[in-house]
Amino acid sequence: PLLAAAEFRGLLLASSGTLQSVHEDPRWSEGINVEHLPIDGLSAAGVRAYLSSEHVVERVLEATRGLPPLIDALVSLPRDEVLSPLQQVDAAGMRLLKLLAVVGRPLGPETLRLLTRLPHGALARTIATLGDLALIGKAVADGELRVGLARAGDQQAIYEMIDAQELRGLHAEVGEHLRRLGDETEIEAAAHHLLLGECGEAAVTAAVEAAQRLEIAFCHERAADLYERALEQSPPPAMRVEIVEKLCNLHEAAGRPDHALVHAERLSALAPTSAEDAVRVARLRILNGEYAAAVEALQRIRDELLEEAPADLWARVLAYTAEAHYLAGDLDAGLTHAQEALARHE
């Protein structure tokens, strides 16, 4: 009322500090009357208006790249220690949440018990506590109870807050658990986790086994991805050669001569090459449109190839030479080499 009066004369100072902080500040102690105006939270309309304001939209976009799961995680699991419900979760609960984030799908109670190493009673209490905090949810799938994270965005948020070393350890544990189960449907998942866990030779073996099964199912891209990731685990030299050769054959079968050529050249650098290996590289260069390079490579093969070499090998070298010349536009040279190839084959 005093401030609204027309006769009021004075300096009005406004502060967002708390009443306690104002009283403890000596600058407010003399000659100043303090009026405390408590500010309540915004209404639904106010929250909506605040969230749609330009500066808030820009900050959310920068933090989440506009991805709905990350936007959801920003709301459900805020980074602020005071606001985050994770502050109320004990060590057992955090391990369970981290395992669910690493696996990326709901799990049965028995699987959770084996991974968390919690007794049945302690696990049940942990699940109940996390459920009360709305961090996990329950569902029934194939007649079995499954426990998973309550929101899709929570998986990404929790995963990103795990320390790198701990994350590798969790992936290794999950991969070894899936490997021990011996379930054929989990072979690819086991390899994925063992690779992320940097489990060395065990990861390489699992990846090769899973990739071979994917090849049979004509899932070439997924198989190639596993082979590539297996190479990152620094396998023994013999296994590295085997994997590179598989990648070369896989990419060629999938109609990707550029990728096949890269691996064929890697293979030449890893192991002693034969004339057959050199012919394969030249053939891949033709398929990749590198006609001049193919002609040069085939000429080197001819210079080194002995006359007593198998006739079919000579015929293929000449036939590929003819093809490279023809595709490069040199029809006369192509015809000459084609006739020579036919003569060799006869």
pLDDT for position 144: 84
For residues 154 and 77, the answer to whether their CB atoms sit within 8 Å is yes
Which band of pLDDT confidence, cut at 50, 70 and 90, is reported for residue 204?
very high
Q: What percentage of the chain exceeds 90 in pLDDT?
A: 21
Which band of pLDDT confidence, cut at 50, 70 and 90, is reported for residue 145?
confident
pLDDT for position 67: 80
pLDDT for position 343: 77
Q: For residue 139, list its beta bridge partners.
A: 146
End-to-end, the C-alpha distance of the chain in Å comes to 114
pLDDT for position 208: 92
Which band of pLDDT confidence, cut at 50, 70 and 90, is reported for residue 183?
confident
Q: What is the pLDDT averaged over residues 233-247?
A: 87
Compute and round to an integer the Cα radius of gyration of the chain.
Answer: 34
Q: What is the pLDDT averaged over residues 164-170?
A: 94
Q: 147-161, 267-281, 317-331: lowest mean pLDDT where?
A: 267-281
pLDDT for position 226: 92
pTM recorded for the entire structure: 0.67
pLDDT for position 173: 94
DSSP letter at 36? -
Which band of pLDDT confidence, cut at 50, 70 and 90, is reported for residue 281?
confident
Annotate 93-125 with DSSP letters as a single string.
Answer: HHHHHHHHHHH-S-B-HHHHHHHHT--HHHHHH
Whether the predicted pLDDT of 175 surpasses 90: yes
Which band of pLDDT confidence, cut at 50, 70 and 90, is reported for residue 31?
low
Q: 37-46, 129-138, 146-155, 163-172: lowest mean pLDDT where?
A: 37-46
Whether the predicted pLDDT of 307 surpasses 80: no
Backbone angles phi, psi at 149, to 5 degrees: -65, 145
Average pLDDT of the chain to the nearest whole number: 82
For residues 275 and 309, the answer to whether their CB atoms sit within 8 Å is yes
d(CA 79, CA 340): 74
CA atoms within 13 A on the CB side of 249: 10
Whether the predicted pLDDT of 245 surpasses 50: yes
Q: How far is CA 159 from CA 95, 97, 128, 211, in A?
A: 11, 9, 22, 26
Which band of pLDDT confidence, cut at 50, 70 and 90, is reported for residue 7?
low
Q: 227-231, 296-300, 340-344: lowest mean pLDDT where?
A: 340-344
Which band of pLDDT confidence, cut at 50, 70 and 90, is reported for residue 174?
very high
Which band of pLDDT confidence, cut at 50, 70 and 90, is reported for residue 36?
low
